[in-house]
């Protein structure tokens, strides 16, 4: 058949076919562009049914010598108002955050709103929101997986990190629409409380070393590019948080037992055990939409089908000027907690700290033979902060002893 | 083949002998003069080799050389020449040779020697599908010259080189015409609408390349026979298989391979063209980048057209079109509330067109068409911790019946009048949990609607200088149940609802759509044209991304979502220069109402009540298009420059419905400056070199007005939309086609095409986004900026491909 003869001819010619697709990285860094607006006000807060769970932060943007900065606004009058009873709870300012009394908590089904008066006299309110009914988180588990995340090295290359994925189980009630917001805190006991880049810790601060000329050669031998680290003077825990916005709606799972819902991961940066507390918030539909927008603009913006950027407008307004854009949101929520404790010694050979410089557990102490100012120092205090505490996490010993 | 060659050489020798003998006999009587004949193709002026030249009086002749030349010396006298060449019309010419003479002969390609039945059928079809005023036609022979990505001949990429036509970037699920959105274009493939026109997320179009006969684009003066989309109509025509013998054509490439067969099934009665293309080469991706390990990208498209000629006056055709894609990309965001480890996309289009053309007289025809179009996108979610796949599926079932009577009354007047009924049956989505128990099955109500239209159009030439095209279309749109109509309070909460049962009328809209065009001839080669068109659009694609996904939601109008409508005005000057160049300037202004856009936080996935997620806003677009075209000659091509604006404006009363403080802002498709240039060098019959350069203003995008720390994350704050612009887009493409057959009588003809897309490796970002500054990543590149920023490009390097194409006939 003539036809097949020519088909074979074409197949022979196919050997000469080449295709050179020179794929390069399709993502390139670029100088960020902004059109900064000064004096933007951003209000963020939660009103929850757990003591110590409620807070409000009020921030403002400013351009200082062309550099964009945000700072907390101090001196505001901030109060939570029960929209039904009219009860008002005044918040106190502590380190830039406004907090109610430690015992303050609301109940599911109550309607609350926020009232803020700035030092300038400007008034902002939130639309009243009803605290949804609480859905308890039944259980949580940590499951070890390879390549849970990537870590970018200083040279810009991606390094995969193994770690634990965190899953929760809860039973979604059938008779209502439910919206969830998850976050977690991870406590990990640390042995290093301070690192002084190119310097030493003396009198409560890091000092950059400056030697007389005759000692410079000797000091350079010992101290070149050396970051001294200092152990903790008392037991101390690093605190980490989940880095993704985790929201969930029961629109496709109403009334079902939600099993193994992944809320994040804990990378294997060290082999120390970790203690993790999950917070499961029940939020309103409006709050869910707000956090969805927050997630879109901060986490979902890099894909081919990225949602287009949009304003992060929540439930706040200026009662004297309804056309003013008031950024942020006050979320009225009910909360359920659960904690887990996870040993990691069996995964030690895969821990980042064991084979690279990115681990947080490497000690590089001062040594006597080094030409360092007296007295040699080996410990630093455990400074209380959002990311570190010396207060034993509630439940730590219970799990640890088991 | 060899026999033919021998035959002509033998003929040449015989003729030469006769010539020699004749010249010997007359040598003493007259002077000798030189005759030089140069033969070339009238269409492109390319010299024709091996053309047979016979000179009757001397019973002699010869064939032309590779430059198309033939020389002979003859005595003074009168001679009759016959010039013939396969595939071209024979030319007879008489000369009187009394001096040295150089003769230029242009040969015209002839229609194949077809039977009278088929020739009649061709004429019948030509009359019915006569061109309208204001149409931009691109023939296949023009389209195939355009260099395209992956070496694929591509209708949509070809279209983006025309004035006023753009896309959303290197991957774009459609085209934007004169600043309109992608869903404002009606794409017809042999009269059946195509809802997803691209393969592989928008890399190239779905239309089976080898079966396309041409593309007509109406972007200003849209004829009244078309309706339903505001910006343009792209009418892609499938070849009618007028043939007496088997023909094959196709191509082999690493990205895709294709084959088309044209053949009579019953001679002069039933004819067929069947073409297909398939790409299953995603297994090669990991060779180029480890990041593409998880990428899948397979596709198929095929077209079959049957033409039945029951009588001299009847012509019945049936076109089947099927396309399917399957792909999986890491660069696509997961869907919220479905826990999956990866998502795959699987979508298909299944169209059929049945058409009957009846000739009532030589000048009157009735054409009746039945169309069915089914578009079925699917998303497959592989569950993270279970061996289960959750399937999301939606579907559009479109049906159309259309009957049209057309008549050419005399040389000054022709008209058509017709009726059309469309039915949309849209399944907005269903969710199948598979064998898992993590989600419930979901099945949204189907949306069933009807669009009934009557139309007429008169083309009238009252004087030699004036021609008019007057059209009118009347449309009636009905949405029927099942439907739930909610009533909302001021906070947007549902306070009550009304249920409509299956078939119950929910809402109707109607509108009169005048279409006017007028041309005033200023001279033999120049004219001024004006146009006006009003169009209502009852279906739209809803999305809040840079380019719609194949799974993006289609929605017909309802009590909350009003039909879009526009008024378009045009003014143009057209002039032909030296019969070689076509020059035009066209200006347009279009105002639009009820354009759909998304609200902050909108999520359209399986949302029953979309009215809460969208707002409708006004738009306007205007521009001037300069176009220069050289359609023929060895060097041919076109270039155009467009200055244009495309703007939108909200009129919201509350913050969530207010965009950019209710001021006019740039739409996603605003491109103030666009330049396109395409040039083809046809150096000889074996080599064609083509260059295509395109440059245009970057796409508007949104930059942040602030950054705040929220939940330990630095989050960009946006107060406006489209307040900045991506860098200027520019790209140069090149292709070199080598046809290697030396013998024109070969039944098998092949060519190699080398394509270099993005010749100088321009990095044109598709999108730009912010990230958190991650430690020492990228050193101090981001400086004191509170956020990092990245460009996402799809084609950011040189893209080289070679393919082999063949024809057998």
Contact between A262 and B339 using a beta-carbon 8 Å cutoff: yes
Say if B101 falls within a structural domain: yes
Same domain, yes or no: B176 and B219: yes
- In whole angstroms, give the CA distance from residue B174 to residue B543: 13
Which pLDDT value is given to residue B108? 77
Contact between A32 and B789 using a beta-carbon 8 Å cutoff: yes
- Catalogue all structural domains in chain A, each as residue range(s) with its CATH number: 41-130 (2.60.40), 137-190+236-362 (no CATH)
Identify the three-state secondary structure at position B131: coil
Last residue of a domain, one of B107, B124, B157: B107
Same domain, yes or no: B711 and B571: yes
Contact A192, A232 (CB under 8 A): yes
Closest-approach residue (CA) in chain B for A44: B710
Contact between A304 and B332 using a beta-carbon 8 Å cutoff: yes
Say if B506 falls within a structural domain: yes
Which pLDDT value is given to residue B141? 64
Same domain, yes or no: B592 and B638: yes
Identify the three-state secondary structure at position B12: helix
Closest Cβ–Cβ partner in B719, B775, B802 for A37 = B719
* Cα B680 versus chain centre, distance: 20
Half-sphere exposure of A51 (CA within 13 A, CB side): 3
Tokens coding B513: 């759509």
Last residue of a domain, one of B71, B92, B107: B107
Identify the three-state secondary structure at position A7: helix
- In whole angstroms, give the CA distance from residue A127 to residue A114: 8
Q: Per mean pLDDT, which range of A6-20, A186-200, B368-382, B456-470 is the poorest?
A: A6-20
Contact between B545 and A306 using a beta-carbon 8 Å cutoff: yes
Contact between B790 and A300 using a beta-carbon 8 Å cutoff: no
Q: Which residues pair with B264 in a beta bridge?
A: B271
Closest-approach residue (CA) in chain B for A308: B545
Same domain, yes or no: B48 and B195: no
Same domain, yes or no: B678 and B725: yes
Same domain, yes or no: B306 and B427: yes
Identify the three-state secondary structure at position A128: coil
Same domain, yes or no: B53 and B149: no
Contact B646, B670 (CB under 8 A): yes
Tokens coding B564: 């879009």
Closest Cβ–Cβ partner in A23, A29, A252 for B440 = A252
Contact between B789 and A258 using a beta-carbon 8 Å cutoff: no
Say if B123 falls within a structural domain: no
Contact between B656 and A245 using a beta-carbon 8 Å cutoff: no
Which pLDDT value is given to residue B86? 64
Residue with tokens 């049956």: B425
ipTM metric: 0.84
Closest Cβ–Cβ partner in B288, B336, B771 for A21 = B288
Chain B residues in contact with A250 (beta carbon < 8 A): 337
Mean per-residue pLDDT, B498-527: 92
Closest Cβ–Cβ partner in A9, A37, A328 for B705 = A37
Closest-approach residue (CA) in chain B for A285: B493
Domain that holds residue B593: 135-808
Tokens coding B649: 């404006």
Contact between B337 and A248 using a beta-carbon 8 Å cutoff: yes
Contact B690, B734 (CB under 8 A): yes
Size (chain B), residues? 809
Chain A residues in contact with B545 (beta carbon < 8 A): 305-308
Residues 6+ apart with CB under 8 A from B314: B356, B357, B358, B359
Which pLDDT value is given to residue B275? 96
Mean per-residue pLDDT, B151-174: 80
Chain A residues in contact with B712 (beta carbon < 8 A): 241, 243
* Cα B803 versus chain centre, distance: 21
pLDDT at B13 over 60: no
> Which spans in B391-433 are helix H?
none
Find which of B179-193, B197-211, B238-252 is predicted with most confidence, using mean pLDDT.
B179-193
Say if B121 falls within a structural domain: no
CA distance, residue B703 to nearest chain A CA (Å): 5
Contact between A23 and B292 using a beta-carbon 8 Å cutoff: yes
Q: Give me the DSSP letters along A319-345.
A: TTBTTS--EEEEEEEEEEEEEEEE--G
Tokens coding B26: 């007359």
Chain B residues in contact with A304 (beta carbon < 8 A): 171, 201, 329, 331-332, 546-547, 766-767, 792, 794
How far from B60 is each of B13, B14, B78, B95, B559, CA to CA, in Å?
9, 8, 14, 15, 82
Same domain, yes or no: B372 and B317: yes
Say if B120 falls within a structural domain: no
pLDDT at B241 over 80: yes
pLDDT per residue as tens digits for the range B109-149: 665 455 555 555 555 554 444 334 456 777 766 676 676 65
- In whole angstroms, give the CA distance from residue A84 to residue A69: 39
Which pLDDT value is given to residue A300? 86
Same domain, yes or no: B512 and B616: yes
CA distance, residue B606 to nearest chain A CA (Å): 9
Same domain, yes or no: B364 and B448: yes
Q: What is the DSSP letter of B657?
A: G
Closest Cβ–Cβ partner in A32, A61, A292 for B782 = A32
CA distance, residue B346 to nearest chain A CA (Å): 16
Helix (H) / strand (E) element for B119: namely helix B116-128
pLDDT per residue as tens digits for the range B535-565: 999 999 988 887 777 778 999 999 999 999 9
Chain B residues in contact with A292 (beta carbon < 8 A): 336, 601, 603
Same domain, yes or no: B231 and B275: yes
Beta-strand relationship, A158-171 and A137-152? antiparallel
How far from A138 is each of A260, A338, A340, B132, B385, CA to CA, in Å?
11, 8, 12, 69, 18
Mean per-residue pLDDT, B442-464: 94
Size (chain A), residues? 402
Q: Among A395, A397, A257, which Cα is nearest to A337's?
A: A395
Going by pLDDT thresholds of 50, 70 and 90, the confidence category of residue B748 is confident
pLDDT per residue as tens digits for the range B754-767: 888 889 989 899 88
- In whole angstroms, give the CA distance from residue B153 to residue B255: 12
pLDDT per residue as tens digits for the range B397-441: 999 999 999 998 998 999 999 999 999 999 999 999 998 888 899
Closest Cβ–Cβ partner in A23, A59, A293 for B708 = A59
Contact B363, B407 (CB under 8 A): yes
Last residue of a domain, one of B87, B107, B127: B107
Q: What CATH number is attached to the domain comprising B84?
A: 2.60.40.1120
Which pLDDT value is given to residue B482? 92
Q: What CATH number is attached to the domain comprising B643?
A: 2.40.170.20
CA distance, residue B579 to nearest chain A CA (Å): 41
Say if B797 falls within a structural domain: yes
Domain count, chain B: 2
Say if B118 falls within a structural domain: no
Q: What is the DSSP letter of B632?
A: S
Contact between B802 and A292 using a beta-carbon 8 Å cutoff: no
pLDDT in tens, chain A (402 residues): 444 455 444 444 433 333 334 444 578 889 999 999 988 999 999 999 999 899 999 999 998 888 889 999 999 999 999 999 999 999 999 988 999 999 999 999 999 999 999 999 999 999 999 999 999 999 999 999 888 887 666 555 667 788 999 999 999 999 889 999 999 999 988 888 888 877 788 888 888 777 666 666 666 666 656 778 888 889 899 888 888 899 999 999 999 999 888 999 998 888 888 999 999 999 999 999 999 999 999 988 887 778 888 888 899 999 998 888 889 999 999 999 999 999 888 777 766 654 333 344 566 777 776 667 778 888 889 988 888 899 888 877 666 555
Tokens coding B108: 């015209």
CA distance, residue B289 to nearest chain A CA (Å): 7
Closest Cβ–Cβ partner in A26, A59, A300 for B792 = A26
- In whole angstroms, give the CA distance from residue A82 to residue B308: 79
Identify the three-state secondary structure at position B13: helix
Same domain, yes or no: B584 and B712: yes
Tokens coding A236: 């101390």
Which pLDDT value is given to residue B556? 95
Closest-approach residue (CA) in chain A for B329: A304
Q: Which residues pair with A185 in a beta bridge?
A: A241, A277
Going by pLDDT thresholds of 50, 70 and 90, the confidence category of residue B774 is low
Question: What is the distance in angstroms between the CA of the first residue and the CA of the last residue of chain B?
Answer: 13
Q: Among B300, B272, B297, which Cα is nearest to B284's?
A: B297
Contact between A6 and B808 using a beta-carbon 8 Å cutoff: yes
Helix, strand, coil percentages, rounded to 5, for chain A: 15, 45, 40
Question: Chain-wide mean pLDDT for chain B?
Answer: 85
- In whole angstroms, give the CA distance from residue B109 to residue B121: 20
Closest Cβ–Cβ partner in B747, B752, B791 for A28 = B791
Contact between A252 and B794 using a beta-carbon 8 Å cutoff: no
Q: Per mean pLDDT, which range of B67-76, B304-313, B533-542 is the poorest?
A: B67-76
Three-state secondary structure along B66-98?
Answer: CCCEEEEEEECEEEEEEEECCCECCEEEEEEEC
Helix, strand, coil percentages, rounded to 5, for chain B: 10, 55, 35
Q: Give me the DSSP letters along B376-391.
A: EEEEEEEETTSS-EEE
pLDDT per residue as tens digits for the range B711-744: 888 999 999 999 999 999 999 999 898 887 666 5
Helix (H) / strand (E) element for B31: namely none
């Amino acid at each position: 058949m003539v036809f097949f003869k020519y088909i074979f001819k074409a197949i022979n010619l196919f050997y000469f076919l080449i295709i050179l697709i020179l794929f390069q990285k399709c993502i390139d860094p670029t100088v960020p562009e902004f059109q900064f607006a000064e004096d933007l006000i951003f209000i963020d807060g939660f009103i929850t049914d757990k003591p110590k769970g409620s807070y409000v932060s009020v921030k403002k943007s400013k351009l200082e010598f062309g550099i964009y900065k945000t700072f907390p606004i101090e001196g505001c009058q901030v109060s939570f108002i029960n929209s039904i009873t009219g009860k008002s709870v005044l918040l106190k300012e502590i380190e830039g955050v406004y907090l109610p009394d430690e015992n303050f908590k609301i109940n599911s089904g109550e309607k609350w709103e926020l009232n803020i008066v700035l030092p300038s006299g400007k008034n902002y309110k939130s639309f009243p929101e009803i605290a949804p009914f609480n859905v308890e988180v039944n259980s949580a588990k940590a499951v070890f997986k390879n390549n849970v995340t990537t870590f970018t090295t200083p040279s810009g290359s991606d390094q995969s990190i193994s770690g634990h994925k965190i899953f929760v189980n809860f039973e979604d009630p059938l008779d209502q629409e439910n919206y969830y917001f998850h976050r977690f805190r991870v406590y990990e006991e640390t042995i290093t409380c301070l690192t002084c880049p190119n310097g030493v810790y003396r009198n409560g601060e890091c000092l950059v070393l400056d030697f007389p000329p005759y000692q410079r050669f000797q000091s350079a031998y010992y101290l070149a590019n050396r970051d001294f680290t200092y152990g903790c003077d008392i037991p101390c825990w690093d605190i980490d948080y989940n880095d993704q916005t985790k929201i969930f709606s029961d629109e496709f799972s109403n009334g079902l037992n939600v099993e193994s819902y992944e809320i994040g991961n804990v990378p294997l940066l060290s082999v120390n055990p970790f203690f993790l507390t999950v917070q499961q918030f029940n939020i309103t539909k409006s709050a869910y939409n707000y956090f969805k927008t927050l997630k879109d603009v901060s986490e979902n913006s890099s894909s081919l089908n990225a949602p287009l950027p949009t304003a992060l407008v929540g439930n706040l307004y200026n009662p004297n000027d309804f056309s003013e854009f008031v950024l942020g949101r006050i979320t009225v929520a009910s909360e359920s907690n659960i904690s887990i404790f996870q040993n990691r010694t069996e995964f030690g050979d895969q821990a980042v700290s064991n084979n690279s410089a990115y681990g947080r557990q490497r000690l590089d102490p001062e040594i006597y033979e080094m030409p360092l100012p007296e007295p040699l120092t080996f410990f630093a205090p455990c400074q209380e902060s959002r990311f570190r505490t010396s207060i034993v996490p509630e439940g730590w010993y219970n799990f640890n002893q088991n | 083949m060899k026999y033919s060659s021998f035959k002509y050489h033998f003929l040449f020798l015989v003729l030469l002998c006769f010539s020699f003998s004749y010249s010997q006999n007359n040598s003493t009587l007259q002077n000798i003069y030189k005759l030089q004949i140069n033969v070339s193709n009238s269409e492109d002026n390319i010299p024709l080799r091996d053309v047979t030249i016979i000179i009757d009086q001397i019973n002699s002749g010869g064939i032309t050389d590779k430059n198309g030349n033939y020389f002979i010396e003859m005595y003074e006298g009168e001679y009759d020449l016959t010039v013939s060449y396969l595939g071209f019309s024979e030319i007879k010419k008489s000369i009187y040779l009394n001096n040295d003479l150089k003769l230029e002969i242009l040969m015209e390609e002839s229609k194949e020697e077809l039977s009278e039945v088929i020739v009649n059928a061709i004429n019948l079809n030509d009359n019915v599908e006569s061109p309208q005023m204001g149409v931009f036609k691109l023939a296949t022979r023009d389209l195939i010259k355009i260099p395209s990505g992956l070496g694929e001949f591509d209708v949509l990429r070809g279209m983006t080189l025309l004035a006023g036509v753009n896309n959303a970037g290197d991957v774009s699920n459609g085209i934007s015409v004169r600043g309109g959105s992608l869903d404002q274009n009606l794409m017809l493939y042999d009269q059946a609408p195509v809802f997803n026109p691209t393969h592989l997320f928008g890399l190239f179009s779905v239309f089976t390349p080898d079966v396309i006969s041409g593309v007509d684009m109406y972007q200003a003066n849209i004829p009244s026979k078309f309706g339903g989309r505001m910006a343009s109509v792209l009418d892609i025509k499938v070849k009618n298989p007028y043939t007496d013998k088997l023909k094959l054509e196709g191509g082999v490439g690493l990205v895709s391979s294709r084959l088309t067969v044209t053949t009579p099934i019953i001679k002069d009665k039933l004819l067929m063209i069947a073409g297909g293309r398939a790409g299953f080469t995603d297994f090669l991706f990991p060779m180029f980048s480890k990041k593409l390990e998880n990428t899948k990208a397979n596709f198929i498209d095929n077209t079959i057209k049957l033409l039945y000629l029951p009588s001299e006056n009847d012509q019945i055709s049936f076109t089947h079109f099927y396309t399917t894609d399957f792909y999986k990309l890491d660069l696509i965001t997961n869907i919220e509330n479905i826990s999956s480890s990866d998502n795959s996309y699987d979508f298909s289009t299944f169209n059929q067109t049945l058409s009957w053309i009846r000739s009532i007289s030589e000048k009157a025809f009735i054409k009746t068409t039945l169309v069915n179009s089914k578009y079925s996108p699917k998303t497959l979610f592989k569950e993270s911790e279970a061996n289960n796949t959750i399937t999301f599926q939606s579907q559009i079932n479109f049906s159309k019946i259309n009957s049209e009577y057309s008549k050419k009354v005399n040389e000054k007047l022709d008209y058509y009048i017709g009726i059309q009924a469309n039915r949309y049956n849209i399944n907005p989505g269903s969710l199948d949990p598979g064998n898992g128990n993590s989600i419930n099955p979901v099945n949204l109500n189907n949306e069933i609607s009807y669009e009934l239209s009557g139309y007429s159009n008169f083309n009238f030439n009252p004087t030699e200088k004036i021609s008019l095209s007057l059209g009118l279309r009347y449309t009636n749109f009905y949405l029927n149940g099942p439907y739930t109509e909610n009533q909302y309070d001021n906070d947007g909460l549902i306070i009550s609802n009304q249920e409509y049962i299956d078939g119950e009328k929910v809402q109707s809209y109607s509108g009169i759509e005048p279409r006017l065009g007028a041309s005033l001839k200023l001279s033999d080669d120049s004219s001024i044209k004006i146009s006006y068109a009003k169009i209502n659009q009852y279906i739209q694609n809803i999305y809040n991304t840079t380019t719609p996904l194949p799974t993006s939601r289609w929605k017909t109008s309802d009590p909350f979502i009003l039909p879009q409508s526009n008024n378009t005005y045009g003014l143009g000057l057209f002039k032909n220069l030296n019969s070689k160049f076509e020059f035009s300037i066209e200006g347009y202004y279009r105002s639009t109402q009820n354009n759909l856009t998304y609200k902050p936080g909108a999520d359209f996935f399986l949302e029953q009540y979309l009215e809460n997620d969208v707002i409708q806003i006004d738009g306007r677009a205007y521009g001037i298009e300069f176009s220069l075209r050289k359609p023929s000659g060895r060097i041919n091509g076109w270039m155009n420059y467009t200055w244009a604006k495309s703007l939108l404006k909200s009129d919201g009363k509350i913050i969530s419905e207010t965009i950019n403080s209710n001021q006019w802002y740039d739409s996603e498709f605003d491109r103030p400056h666009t330049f396109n240039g395409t040039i083809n060098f046809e150096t000889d019959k074996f080599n064609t070199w083509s260059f295509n350069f395109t440059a245009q203003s970057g796409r508007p995008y949104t930059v942040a007005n602030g950054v705040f720390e929220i939940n330990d994350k630095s989050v960009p704050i946006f107060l406006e939309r489209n307040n900045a612009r991506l860098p200027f887009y520019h790209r140069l493409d090149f292709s070199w086609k080598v046809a290697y057959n030396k013998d024109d009588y070969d039944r098998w003809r092949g060519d190699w095409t080398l394509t270099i897309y993005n010749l100088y490796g321009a990095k044109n970002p598709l999108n730009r986004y912010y990230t958190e500054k991650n430690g020492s990543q990228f050193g101090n590149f981001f400086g004191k900026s509170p956020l990092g920023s990245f460009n996402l490009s799809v084609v950011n390097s040189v893209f080289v491909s070679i393919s082999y194409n063949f024809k057998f006939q």
